[in-house]
């Protein structure tokens, strides 16, 4: 449920840390408070699969619980899981990581991202990231004491971050480039060419790339380019991945980091004092997902692709220009024809037509003028949402 | 392309050509043409609903019948199978490997009706050597659909 505490309200009774105060409250929280109070809302807001985890994965976790597999695991994760993960990364990308020193199992990619930032950032270090970006990226940098430097990305460039723009923003304090492709919120995928340009800049200037590849498996008709697999990048990349999106395992909270041993060692130290280890049953489930989840994942991807085509066509048909998302499960239509801000649009859409979408501005300045619509929801809901949005757009369009 | 359409229809036969077109990126006329052809060449046999008859008073009795056959000269099992599947009571007829030859699913209005079918019709067919009838006590899952207690996935409003 939506948490009740909203930054203390008006009374300031407790002395909250500067660092916590520095984090901006999520701009979308109020929608979800509102959402919880309205009946019959169709939500295109939540970024998670609408499937339950495939049964064979759930079953493996239940079995482990029945057998009493309820203790801690090694800090870095079950050895079998790390070995299987090493095999997976080798099989998919030809990447060789030592399961004993170069892989860490984490509580979702969220934790892995936090650990990576805390492991490499000193006060004042700068981290470059695209705008718009996933809402946690800047917070993780700020929490680690770093400074966020955003590089605008545009629909005309397929929302790919440009190496030249990155280079322009490099300073002596630049520590890392943080990217996440396929991207949330745009659904953009980086082409091999653009990714290589980016990694050339990173390598040339000795800047690490933190690559959040949680949506790696969710690409439609294009390849996913793994940053760490590009020439010379294994030693220059912190690769973050997880199981939530491809195997419909969001609630299990399980992910991983793959990086050179020195970085993994630092991340593991923080992980061991804060998390101890990722939940054991979730690790068992992740092992099963890696071993035999490929087929269920592929089926879901096929299904998302149908909904993707349906959603994008539908949005364009009702007059909202929509960039073609080649990955993840988001459509990111422009709402400029209404003359409204993203936030006003999203709020009015919710109150007038009971459709929840996330204002693009929640993901950065370049997201203004767009809304994020997650199509990982039933076809019937997508269709109904589009019908309601059609009414809404024809009422509000200004062109 | 056709495969894609078939997969969608197998899961939801009510998907319209317009929806199919949007879901697959094909044009509506292409979709309609493919479906028409698939119906014509019997790739799509029929559109049906999966019904939970326990919800209505008009109850049904289901029986799984294992049938052992004596192979007939020249024609093998096929002609015997045909003489069985011609009966409207038989819903499914498979030739199977193992201890018996034909698996026959029969649906009737009462135990009595099924007993009659087995004793009066099935067992008299030439080539049928032996039958074992098993009445279905409860259906849990039908054609991929869980019959009772299928839980909807409930998502909490979260911010991501």
In Å, how far from its chain's centre is CA A184?
A: 5
Query: What pLDDT, on a 0 to 100 scale, did the predictor assign at position A10?
Result: 57
Q: pLDDT over 90 for what percent of chain A?
A: 86
Distance in Å, alpha carbon of B155 to nearest chain A alpha carbon: 8
Given a cut of 60, whether residue A254 has pLDDT beyond it is yes
pLDDT of residue A48: 81
Q: Residue B157: which of A32, A306, A310 has the nearest Cβ?
A: A32
Is the CB of residue B6 less than 8 Å from the CB of residue B45? no
- Does residue A14 contact residue A8 with C-beta atoms inside 8 Å? yes
Cα–Cα distance list, B139 to A248, B54, B57, B142, B147 (Å): 28, 9, 16, 7, 7
Q: Smallest Cβ distance to A51: which of B24, B25, B153?
A: B153
C-alpha distance across the termini of chain B, in Å: 34
Beta carbons of B155 and A50 less than 8 Å apart: yes
Torsion of CA B154, A358, A133, A216, to 10 degrees: 40
Do B157 and A45 count as a contact with CB atoms less than 8 A apart?
yes
pLDDT of residue A1: 37
**Per the CB < 8 Å rule, is A1 touching B156?**
yes
SS3 content of chain B, % helix, strand, coil (to 5): 35, 20, 40
Q: In what order do the strands lie in the sheet with A330-331?
A: A330-331, A371-374, A358-359
Beta-carbon separation of B160 and A310 below 8 A: no
Provide mean pLDDT across the span A24-40: 74
| Whether the Cβ atoms of residue A180 and residue A213 lie closer than 8 Å to each other | yes
What is residue A4's predicted lDDT score, i.e. its pLDDT?
A: 43
- CA angle in degrees (0–180, nearest 5) for A299-A378-A107: 65
Band (pLDDT 50/70/90 cuts) for residue A8 is very low
B19·A310 Cβ contact <8 A = yes
Half-sphere exposure (Cβ direction) of A156: Cα atoms closer than 13 Å: 1
Q: Please, which pLDDT band fits residue B152 given cuts at 50, 70 and 90? A: low
Chain B residue numbers with beta carbons less than 8 Å from the beta carbon of A1 are: 156-157
Provide the CB-side half-sphere exposure for A386 (13 A, CA). Answer: 26
As a whole number, the mean pLDDT across chain A is 93
Residue A200, SS3? Answer: helix
Whether A47 contacts chain B with CB within 8 A: yes
In chain A, whose CA is at the least distance from the CA of B23? A306
pLDDT in tens, A86-112: 999 999 999 999 999 999 999 999 999
Report the alpha-carbon distance of residue A15 to residue A36 in Å, rounded.
Answer: 30
Task: Quote the pLDDT of residue B151.
Answer: 67
B74, pLDDT greater than 80: no
- CATH number given to A70-292: 3.40.640.10
Q: Searching chain B, which residue's CA lies closest to the CA of residue A308? A: B23
User: Counting Cβ atoms within 10 Å, is residue A316 exposed (0-12), middle (13-18) or buried (19+)?
Assistant: middle
Residues of B in contact with A309 (CB under 8 A): 22-25
User: Across the interface, which of A32, A52, A310 has its CB nearest the CB of B23?
Assistant: A310
Q: What is the pLDDT of residues A161-174, one digit of tens each?
A: 999 999 999 999 99
Whether A51 has its CB under 8 Å from any CB of chain B: the answer is yes
Residue A23 banded pLDDT, cuts 50, 70, 90:
confident
Structure tokens at B1: 């392309």
Residue A373's Cβ-count burial label (10 Å; 0-12, 13-18, 19+) is: buried
Strands A355-356 and B128-135 turn out to be: unpaired
Say if A36 is an interface residue toward chain B (CB within 8 Å): yes
- Kindly give the pairing relationship between strand A42-43 and strand A371-374: unpaired
Which residues of A are less than 8 Å from B19 in CB distance? Answer: 310, 379, 383
pTM value is 0.87
Find the mean pLDDT for residues A242-261.
95
* Position with higher pLDDT, B147 vs A331: A331
CB B82 within 8 A of CB B125: no
Cβ-count burial of A396 within 10 angstroms (0-12 exposed, 13-18 middle, 19+ buried)?
A: middle
Q: Does A302 touch chain B (CB under 8 A)?
A: yes
Distance CA(A129)–CA(A149), nearest Å, equals: 6
Q: Give the pLDDT of residue A193.
A: 97
Question: Residue B56 has what pLDDT?
Answer: 85
Phi, psi of A121 (to 5 degrees): -95, 130
Closest-CA distance of chain B to residue A358, Å: 9
CATH 3.30.70.920 fits B53-137, yes or no: yes
For testing contact with chain A, the best of B1, B19, B20, B22 (most A CBs within 10 A): B22
Put simply, the answer to whether B160 touches A32 (Cβ < 8 Å) is: no
DSSP per-residue codes, A318-331: TT--B----BTTEE
Does A182 contact chain B (CB < 8 Å)? no
Residues of chain A found within 8 Å of residue B24, distances taken between Cβ atoms: 306, 309
Q: Which residues of B touch A184 (CB under 8 A)?
A: 160
| Residue that the structure tokens 């009838």 belong to | B133
CA separation for the pair B14, B47 (Å, rounded):
8
- pLDDT category at A283 given cuts 50, 70, 90 is very high
Question: Nearest Cα to A206, choosing from A169, A239, A164, A235?
Answer: A235
Which helix (DSSP H) or strand (DSSP E) does residue B63 occupy?
Answer: strand B61-69
Determine whether the interchain pair B19/A383 forms a contact, defined as Cβ–Cβ distance below 8 Å: yes
The band of A2, judged by pLDDT with boundaries at 50, 70 and 90, is very low
The answer on pLDDT for A83 being more than 80 is yes
**Domain residue limits, chain B:** 2-40, 53-137
Give CA–CA dist A354/A334, Å, rounded.
19
In chain B, whose CA is at the least distance from the CA of A357?
B159
CB contact under 8 A, B157 and A35: yes
Q: Where are the CATH 3.90.1150.10 domain residues in chain A? A: 18-53+296-396
At A114-168, the pLDDT tens digits run 999 999 999 999 999 999 999 999 999 999 999 999 999 999 999 999 999 999 9
Whether the predicted pLDDT of B153 surpasses 80: no
> What is A18-53+296-396's CATH number?
3.90.1150.10
**Does the beta-carbon distance from B22 to A313 stay under 8 Å?**
yes
Integer Cα distance of A113 and A184 in angstroms: 15
Q: Which of B15, B24, B159 sits opposite A309 (nearest CB)?
A: B24
Mutate to test the interface with B, among A52, A220, A221, A310 (most CBs of B within 10 A): A310
pLDDT for A44 beyond 80: yes
Strands A126-131 and A174-179: parallel
Burial (CB count within 10 angstroms: exposed 0-12, middle 13-18, buried 19+), residue A103: buried
- Quickly tell me which residue has 């997976």 as its tokens: A88
Of B12, B23, B155, the CB nearest to A46: B155
The confidence score (pLDDT) of residue B158 equals 58
| Integer Cα distance of A246 and A386 in angstroms | 25
Give span(s): CATH 3.40.640.10, chain A. 70-292
Instruction: Please report how many Cα atoms fall inside a 13 Å half-sphere around the Cα of residue A340, on the Cβ side.
Output: 21
Chain A's closest residue to B153, CA to CA, is: A52
Contact check, Cβ <8 Å, B157/A46: yes
Give the number of beta-carbon pairs within 8 Å between A and B.
50
Chain A positions touching B23 (Cβ under 8 A) are 306-307, 309-310, 379
Residues A290/A88, Cβ–Cβ less than 8 Å: yes
Q: Longest C-alpha distance within chain B, in Å?
A: 71
Can you count the helices (H) and strands (E) in chain B?
A: 5, 6
pLDDT at B44 over 70: yes
pLDDT of residue B159: 54
Give the per-residue pLDDT at B129: 94
| pLDDT for the residue B42 | 96
Contact (CB<8Å) B7/A302? yes
Q: Is the dihedral of CA A173, A257, A224, A360 positive or negative?
A: negative
Evaluate whether A313 touches A166 at the Cβ level (below 8 Å): no
Mean pLDDT, residues A14-43 taken together: 80
Is the pLDDT at A45 greater than 50? The verdict is: yes
For the stretch B113-145, pLDDT in tens is 999 999 999 999 999 999 999 999 999 999 988
Q: Where are the beta strands (DSSP E) in chain A?
A: 42-43, 103-106, 126-131, 147-152, 174-179, 208-212, 237-242, 255-258, 330-331, 355-356, 358-359, 371-374
What is the average per-residue pLDDT within A325-336?
97
Task: State how far residue A227 is from chain B, nearest Cα, in angstroms.
Answer: 24
């Amino acid at each position: 449920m939506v948490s009740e505490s909203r930054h203390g309200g008006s009374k300031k009774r407790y002395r909250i840390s500067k660092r916590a105060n520095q984090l901006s409250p999520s701009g979308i929280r109020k929608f979800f408070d509102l959402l919880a109070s309205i009946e019959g809302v169709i939500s295109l807001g939540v970024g998670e699969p609408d499937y339950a985890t495939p049964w064979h994965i759930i079953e493996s976790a239940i079995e482990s619980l029945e057998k009493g597999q309820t203790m801690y695991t090694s800090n870095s994760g079950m050895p079998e899981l790390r070995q299987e993960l090493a095999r997976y990364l080798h099989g998919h990308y030809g990447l060789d990581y030592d399961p004993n020193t170069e892989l860490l199992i984490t509580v979702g990619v969220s934790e892995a991202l936090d650990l990576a930032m805390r492991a490499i950032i000193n006060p004042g270090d700068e981290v470059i990231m695209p705008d718009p970006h996933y809402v946690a990226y800047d917070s993780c940098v700020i929490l680690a004491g770093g400074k966020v430097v955003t590089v605008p990305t545009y629909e005309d460039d397929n929302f790919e971050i440009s190496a030249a723009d990155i280079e322009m923003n490099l300073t002596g304090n630049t520590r890392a480039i943080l990217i996440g492709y396929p991207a949330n919120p745009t659904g953009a995928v980086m082409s091999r060419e653009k990714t290589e340009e980016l990694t050339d800049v990173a390598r040339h200037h000795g800047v690490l790339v933190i690559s959040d590849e949680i949506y790696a498996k969710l690409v439609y008709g294009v390849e996913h380019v793994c940053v760490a697999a590009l020439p010379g990048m294994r030693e220059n990349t912190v690769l973050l991945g997880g199981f939530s999106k491809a195997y419909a395992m969001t609630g299990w909270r399980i992910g991983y980091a793959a990086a050179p041993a020195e970085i993994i060692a630092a991340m593991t130290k923080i992980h061991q004092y804060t998390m101890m280890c990722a939940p054991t049953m979730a690790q068992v489930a992740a092992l099963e997902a890696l071993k035999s989840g490929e087929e269920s994942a592929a089926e879901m991807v096929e299904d998302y692709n149908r909904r993707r085509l349906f959603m994008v066509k539908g949005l364009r048909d009702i007059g909202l220009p929509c960039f073609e998302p080649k990955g993840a499960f988001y459509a990111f239509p422009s709402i400029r024809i209404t003359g409204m801000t993203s936030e006003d649009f999203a709020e009015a859409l919710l109150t007038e037509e009971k459709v929840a979408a996330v204002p693009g501005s929640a993901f950065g300045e370049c997201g203004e003028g767009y809304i994020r619509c997650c199509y990982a929801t039933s076809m019937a809901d997508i269709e109904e949402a589009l019908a309601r949005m059609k009414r809404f757009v024809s009422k509000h369009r200004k062109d | 392309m056709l495969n894609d359409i078939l997969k969608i229809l197998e899961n939801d036969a009510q998907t319209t050509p317009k929806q199919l077109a949007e879901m697959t990126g094909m044009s509506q006329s292409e979709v309609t043409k493919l479906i028409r052809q698939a119906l014509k060449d019997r790739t799509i046999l029929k559109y049906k609903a999966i019904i939970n008859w326990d919800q209505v008073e008009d109850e049904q009795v289901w029986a799984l019948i294992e049938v052992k056959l004596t192979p007939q000269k020249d024609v093998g099992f096929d002609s015997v199978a045909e003489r069985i599947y011609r009966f409207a009571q038989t819903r499914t007829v498979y030739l199977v490997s193992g201890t018996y030859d034909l698996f026959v699913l029969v649906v009737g209005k009462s135990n009595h009706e099924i007993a009659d079918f087995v004793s009066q019709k099935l067992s008299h067919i030439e080539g049928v050597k032996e039958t074992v009838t098993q009445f279905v006590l409860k259906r849990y899952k039908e054609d991929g659909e869980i019959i009772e207690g299928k839980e909807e996935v409930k998502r909490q409003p979260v911010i991501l």
